[in-house]
Structures are given as structure tokens and as C-alpha cells.
Amino acid sequence: MCDKWLDLEAKTVIITGAASGIGKEIATAFAEQGSNIVVADINPDGQEVLSEFDGGADKHLFVKTDVTNQEDIEEMVAQTIEKYGKIDVLINNAGINIPRLLVDSKDAKSKYELNQKSVNFMIDINIKGVLFVTQAVAREMIKKESGVIINIDSECGLEGSEGQSCYAATKASLYSFTRSWCKELGKYGIRVVGMAPGIMEETGLRTLEYEEALAYTRGKTVNELRTGYKNVSVPLGREGKLREAANLACFLASKRAGYIHGTTYNISGGKSRG
Ligand SMILES: NC(=O)c1ccc[n+]([C@@H]2O[C@H](COP(=O)([O-])OP(=O)(O)OC[C@H]3O[C@@H](n4cnc5c(N)ncnc54)[C@H](O)[C@@H]3O)[C@@H](O)[C@H]2O)c1
């Protein structure tokens, strides 16, 4: 249902990684508000996801985009401008998490130790992808002197996380981007904010490969890990709902959040307070 209080109707919103999980739910929520949606995802399934959104085909666009590929980024921005003539909101949501130990003391040839490949993969998508997508989009926002950029971090970016040190470090860098870009872009009327989810409902991120790796790094079985999702010390005693993250994104993108700039909101049920 379109909420006049948020006033997001006809806003053009690019969401990277919106073929799945948190990004898809954010896109769904903006579509309900009557926004123009751009799904920028490496996964071609993003095309099919469009049919699930409110509004007609003239309000939805999928551009197959690898956020690590500069040509893809420029093509995605060009198609967005061609279809909608402007970009109002960018949600930097695409991200990956490969659980790995710094040192595996049990196995010198461990496949669960960080190496050049896994580290580069996370840095390329989670840091460089965010930077270069934002650079291309900010060029357009500067022309019209308005816009909102929302970086999807993780509460572990500040808290740290056992078996996820590189992932957490990439997410910590987004807190820093948010603070610096607020200083660079504020003068053009562009707000930059972050959102840091904690443990959320299941998304595409929670594959068996991910769970096996995370369980190994924590000396647990996959079943123990799964039981633990609900038992970790979250003061609210439950996982976060994807819609709760989407609601926060809609609020932060709206004029109601017009003086919120350069800061990152925790959405973790109190697991860590940022
Ligand atoms: N799920 C959680 O509990 C949780 C917690 C904290 C932070 N986050 C963050 O939220 C964001 C979304 O995660 P999710 O849980 O919804 O995962 P997900 O795997 O369901 O969604 C991630 C999306 O990113 C896309 N993607 C991956 N590599 C890409 C690339 N190179 N270019 C473009 N798109 C690419 C995938 O195709 C997928 O659609 C991530 O940045 C993640 O780090 C998630």
C-alpha cells in the first residue's frame, strides 16, 4: 500500500543484488510505494523477480549487472537514465560472505583458511563494487543536486565475527564510506546513510556451502549452527524480518529522514548496538 507519509511514489530506486533476500524485499517494499525499481544483479533470475512487484512493466527494470565490472555498471546507469531520466535512490546491497579462518590450527592445508582468492572475491564485490557503483550513480545525482545512497553493512562490521574476519572487515569499510561520502556529497544535496543488519530470516546467503564453512570455523556441526541462529544472544530473542530491513530502507530514503546523513543504523534486535 502506497504510504503518502513516505512520499516515495515515482522515485527511481536502484537496488544492487535485488534478485534475492534483503535486496528483493527492499525492492518489493519500494514497488509498493509506487517507486520505479531497477534490479541490478549478476543473477539473471532478477528478470523473473520483476513480475512479483506491484506496478506495471513501465515501473520495473532489470539490468544484469556484475558490480565488479565497470562496463556493466555504466550500462546499468545508462539504461536507468534512458528509462526514467533520473536516479533518486541507490541501495548498495549486493554482497557475499565466505566464512574462512585466519589460521586453521587443525589443518595446514585447510580449505577453510583465507587465501588470495577468497579475500579478493569479498573485497571486489563488497568494497570495490560498492565504491564504483556509487561513483557512477553519484555523477548523475550531482547533476540534479539530490539523491540518497544507502549502504547495506552488517553489525559484524563493528563487532567482528568468528570465522568471518575478512567479510566483517569489508563491511566495516562501508561504515567508513558512509562517513566520508557524507562529507563529499552533502554539499550536492545527496544524503548517505548505512544500515547494518544482524541475524536475519533466511536469504540466499545461507547456502549449505556457507553453513558448512561457518560451522567448521566455529567447531560446530551444521545442525548445531542452525539451532544456534535462534539461540544467539539477541535481546529481542528472534531473527530480524526481511520486511523490517525493507521498512528501514524506505524510511531512510524518504524525506522524513531528511536530516539523517553520514551515520549507520543497526537493525540487529540489540545483538550489537553499533
Ligand atoms: N542475511 C543476513 O543475515 C545479513 C546480515 C547482515 C548483512 N547482510 C548483507 O545484506 C546484503 C544482502 O544479503 P542477503 O542475505 O540478502 O544475501 P543474498 O545472497 O540473498 O543476496 C545477495 C544478492 O547479491 C547478488 N550478487 C552477488 N554478487 C554480485 C555481483 N558481483 N554483482 C551483482 N550482484 C551480485 C546475488 O546474486 C544475490 O541476489 C549483503 O550485502 C549482506 O552482506 C545480510
* CA 53 – CA 150 distance, rounded (Å): 21
Give bridge partners of residue 191 from the DSSP assignment.
Answer: 148
Asked if residue 9 lies in contact with residue 71, where contact means CB atoms within 8 angstroms, the answer is no
Asked if residue 36 lies in contact with residue 11, where contact means CB atoms within 8 angstroms, the answer is yes
Strands 89-92 and 264-267: unpaired
Closest-CA residue, ligand 1 atom 8, reads 154
- Helix segments in 186-262, DSSP class H: 208-217, 222-231, 242-253
Specify the pLDDT at position 11: 98
Give bridge partners of residue 195 from the DSSP assignment.
Answer: 152, 265
Give the alpha-carbon dihedral of 50, 68, 208, 157, to 10 degrees: -100
Q: Residue 221, Cβ neighbours under 10 Å: how many? A: 13
Identify the residues whose C-beta falls under 6 Å from ligand 1: 16-17, 19-23, 41-43, 65-68, 93-97, 125, 129, 152, 154, 197, 199-200, 203-205
User: What b/e readout covers 16-40, taking b as 16+ CB neighbours within 10 angstroms?
Assistant: bbbbbbbbbbbbbbbbbbbbbbbbb
Q: Which of 42, 70, 167, 210 to mutate to test the pocket of ligand 1 (most atoms within 8 A of CB)?
A: 42
CA of 84 to the centre of ligand 1 (A): 25
* CA 132 – CA 221 distance, rounded (Å): 38
CA of 265 to the centre of ligand 1 (A): 18
Closest-CA residue, ligand 1 atom 23, reads 17
Give bridge partners of residue 152 from the DSSP assignment.
Answer: 195
* CA 230 – CA 53 distance, rounded (Å): 30
Specify the pLDDT at position 224: 93
CA of 261 to the centre of ligand 1 (A): 23
Enumerate the domain spans of the chain: 12-204+240-267
| Cβ partners under 8 Å of residue 228, min gap 6 | 220
Asked if residue 64 lies in contact with residue 72, where contact means CB atoms within 8 angstroms, the answer is yes
Q: Which of 205, 239, 241 to mutate to test the pocket of ligand 1 (most atoms within 8 A of CB)?
A: 205
* CA 50 – CA 37 distance, rounded (Å): 9
Specify the pLDDT at position 230: 67
- At 79 the three-state DSSP class reads helix
- At 19 the three-state DSSP class reads coil
Asked if residue 134 lies in contact with residue 90, where contact means CB atoms within 8 angstroms, the answer is yes
Q: Report the CATH superfamily, name and number, of domain 12-204+240-267.
A: NAD(P)-binding Rossmann-like Domain (3.40.50.720)
Specify the pLDDT at position 240: 96
CA of 227 to the centre of ligand 1 (A): 22
Which whole-number Å values give the CA distances from 11 to 34, 48, 249, in the listed order?
8, 22, 13
Asked if residue 19 lies in contact with residue 53, where contact means CB atoms within 8 angstroms, the answer is no
What is the DSSP-derived secondary structure letter of residue 11?
-
Q: Residue 68, by phi and psi: left (phi above 0), alpha (psi -120 to 50) or beta?
A: alpha
Tens-digit pLDDT profile for the chain (274 aa)?
Answer: 778 899 999 999 999 999 999 999 999 999 999 999 999 999 999 999 999 999 989 999 999 999 999 999 999 999 999 999 999 999 999 999 999 999 999 998 999 999 999 999 999 999 999 999 999 999 999 999 999 999 999 999 999 999 999 999 999 999 999 999 999 999 999 999 999 999 999 999 999 999 999 999 999 999 999 888 766 789 999 999 999 999 999 999 999 999 999 999 999 999 987 6
